[in-house]
Amino acid sequence: MMGNLLTDHLLSNIGKKAPIKKELVTRRDIRKYSIATGQRQKKFLDGDEAPPMFHVSLFWDVVDMDQLSPDGVFIDRLLPEFPLKKAMAGGLKIDYYQPVYPGQWLTAARTLTDIYEKEGSKGPLIFYEITMEVENEAEEKVLTEVTTRILR
């Protein structure tokens, strides 16, 4: 039986935008990320170009421990208070449009793009999607990332 966990108030958060973040891509950060993720291509290890997934942590806030959830995850202020609390990964889709190079200033615009409910084998599930658009300083699209999370 389908629950009615999604109130009009919760659904009214669809379209909510987080503050725009702007970060400088550095050769050192590319090199550190490349080594940590076991990259083998010289262009990544030398920091000449960022490998796939480099952007994921680029826009994370550095916060005090008391601003993390009990499992060590940053509390995302873009999200409303949901009635279900246990979060699980639901998917990540990234479309890349151009490479990321050292010296670029990138901006990230995050939007809560969907909230919906489904019935799981053990009860109701809430899904939400956040879309992040990343652009370079010329306002050209670098990538689009859609993250889906599941709450139970």
pLDDT at 17 over 90: yes
Domain CATH number, residue 93: 3.10.129.10
Q: Is residue 37 part of a domain?
A: yes
The reported pLDDT for the residue numbered 108 is: 98
The reported pLDDT for the residue numbered 15 is: 98
pLDDT at 10 over 60: yes
Q: Is residue 107 part of a domain?
A: yes
- The string of pLDDT tens digits covering residues 102-139 is 999 999 999 999 999 999 999 999 999 999 999 999 99
The reported pLDDT for the residue numbered 132 is: 98
Alpha helices in the chain (DSSP H): 8-11, 27-36, 42-45, 55-58
Task: List b or e across 42-74, with b for residues whose CB sees 16 or more CB atoms inside 10 angstroms.
Answer: eebeebebbbeebbeebbeeeeeeeeeeeeeee
Give the Cα separation of 63 and 131 in Å (integer).
22
Q: Is residue 1 part of a domain?
A: no
Q: Is residue 3 part of a domain?
A: no
Question: Whole-model pTM?
Answer: 0.89
Q: Is residue 14 part of a domain?
A: yes
Find the mean pLDDT for residues 82-94.
94
Q: Is residue 68 part of a domain?
A: yes
Identify the three-state secondary structure at position 10: helix
Q: Is residue 2 part of a domain?
A: no
Q: How many domains does the chain have?
A: 1
- The string of pLDDT tens digits covering residues 26-69 is 999 999 999 999 999 999 999 999 999 999 989 988 888 888 87
pLDDT at 78 over 50: yes
The reported pLDDT for the residue numbered 12 is: 97
Q: Which domain holds residue 74?
A: 8-151
